[in-house]
Amino acid sequence: MDSNLQLGLALASGVVLAAACGLRAFLPLLALGIAGRLGWLHLAPAMQWLQHPAALSCLGAATLIEIVGDKIPVVDHALDAIATAVRPAAAWIAGVAVLAHWPAPWPELVAIALGGGAFAVHALKAKTRLGSSVATLGHANPLLSIFEDATTLVLLALAILAPLIALVLTVLLVMAIVRWARRRRVRPASAPRILAS
């Protein structure tokens, strides 16, 4: 494979993984660890700890707690508050892990930008979840959470198996969410009527 193509595919994979980390902090790292252990991906030497059985066990437990907790109203907001720091850090780890063929210090520097991307996706997700909580008193939040789980799984599968397709889908998904959020913000609120006594 051409080295420039390899570098480009690694970057595309990193961008998609960062978006996935913006939705779920631990599932992308678990997927990377499993892919590395199965030989589907070559992780950077500094991040090969992700494929160690102890790390996989811890990441599996953290993933389960995050996914189940995200379905419980109030707990989901607490997890989002904690995830404000955790998700960008997870994106940084994922970025460094997949940018193994990039020369130093580029993997670490690019991973910082990927962490910023994960933070942006997380902020958009948290804002959407807050709007859902206000509009539906939290009843729609578990459905949103299931949609986020499914989206994350699709992004992860594509990031590992078809990074360029995953990158295009990620950009389209973010554009659709931003457009939806803008439409909801622009929608005029009906003015209260004051009845003369």
pLDDT of 197 reads 41
pLDDT of 1 reads 54
Q: What percentage of the chain exceeds 90 in pLDDT? A: 43
Q: Tokens at residue 81, please?
A: 């508050």
- Taking only the tens place, the pLDDT of each residue in 21-39 is 999 999 999 999 999 999 9
Q: How sure is the predictor about 196, in pLDDT bands with cuts at 50, 70 and 90?
A: very low
The single residue listed with the structure tokens 């996989």 is 56
Average pLDDT of the chain to the nearest whole number: 86
| 7 three-class SS | helix
Selection from 11, 90, 20, 15 nearest residue 55 by Cα: 90
Amino acid identity of residue 142, one-letter, is: P
Q: CA–CA separation, 145 vs 24, rounded Å?
A: 10
Contact present, 63 and 24 (Cβ < 8 Å): yes
Amino acid identity of residue 5, one-letter, is: L
Question: pTM score > 0.85 for this model?
Answer: no
Q: CA–CA separation, 158 vs 89, rounded Å?
A: 21
| 55 three-class SS | helix
Domain definitions of the chain by residue range: 3-168
- Taking only the tens place, the pLDDT of each residue in 78-114 is 888 898 999 999 999 999 999 988 888 899 999 999 9
Q: CA–CA separation, 35 vs 23, rounded Å?
A: 19
Selection from 53, 81, 57 nearest residue 69 by Cα: 81
Most confident range, picked from 8-17, 83-92, 165-174: 83-92
pLDDT of 188 reads 52
pLDDT of 139 reads 81
> Does the pLDDT at position 50 exceed 70?
yes
Write a three-state SS string for 84-123: HHHHHHHHHHHHHHHCCCCCCCHHHHHHHHHHHHHHHHHH
